[in-house]
Amino acid sequence: MREFKRFIEKYTTVPDNEWNAIRQAFTQREFTKNEIILQEGEICRHFYFLESGLLRYFYNHDGKEVVKTFTFPPYCFTSEASFINRRPSLENIQALDDSTVWQTNYEQYRELEKLSSWKRFTNGLLNEFDMFSKLMIIHLKSQTPEQRYSWLTQNYPPSLLQKILQKDMASFLGVAPQSFCRIKNKLQEKAKS
């Protein structure tokens, strides 16, 4: 839980009384490798903090899994539209590694919104997520898959990236698995020279 408090404090200060309310609203949960946290078509009932592990978001299109994004710790996650609007999710969330999360339900989340520090935190988090989403759209439209993969390798720990299956990374980059192998090998060769 200390990790969660440190994470929140990147966005705002948290008075002790408000931290106690936040702490009491969350419970710890463990997900095993490959466990589905949220199934497409279900209503997302929780807001989470990922303390350790690795997650992938994906949806099904014409019988194929399409990887939308990955979540690395420490970070918060949910299926935002499903959670906030109480509608069936259009995506799946899966643990790619054994993962430790802290979760709160919708009702408790709404209660937390009465706290000024929680409001500042979630506003900051949503702004950050919005900027990241816009950056990803720009990357998709203006960069090659090689450039996007290079960006990932520069911004995320290799120990986490190594846990992502090649087929999932290829899907995320929008290329065939064979093309991803060529991209990866090319970047490894560049790094050696």
Q: Is residue 153 part of a domain?
A: yes
pTM, whole model, 2 decimals?
Answer: 0.90
pLDDT band at residue 148 using 50, 70 and 90 as cut-offs: confident
Domains identified in the chain, total number: 2
Residue 55's domain is classified under what CATH number? Answer: 2.60.120.10
Radius of gyration for the alpha carbons in the chain, expressed in angstroms and rounded = 18
77 and 164 housed in the same domain: no
Q: What pLDDT was estimated at residue 186?
A: 87
Q: Is residue 73 part of a domain?
A: yes
With a cut of 80, say whether residue 193 has pLDDT above it: no
Q: What pLDDT was estimated at residue 158?
A: 85
Task: Please compute the mean of the pLDDT values over residues 92-111 and round it to a whole number.
Answer: 98
Q: Is residue 138 part of a domain?
A: no
36: tokens are 């589905």
Position of tokens 């935002």? 80
Q: Is residue 117 part of a domain?
A: yes
113 and 171 housed in the same domain: no
Q: What pLDDT was estimated at residue 140?
A: 80
Q: Is residue 39 part of a domain?
A: yes
Q: Which domain holds residue 10?
A: 2-129
pLDDT in tens, 160-190: 888 999 999 999 888 999 999 999 888 888 8
91 and 173 housed in the same domain: no
% of the chain surpassing 90 pLDDT: 74
74 and 157 housed in the same domain: no
42: tokens are 């279900």
Distance CA(71)–CA(74), nearest Å, equals: 9
pLDDT in tens, 35-79: 999 999 999 999 999 999 999 999 999 999 999 999 999 999 999
27 and 104 housed in the same domain: yes
Q: What pLDDT was estimated at residue 21?
A: 97
108 and 162 housed in the same domain: no
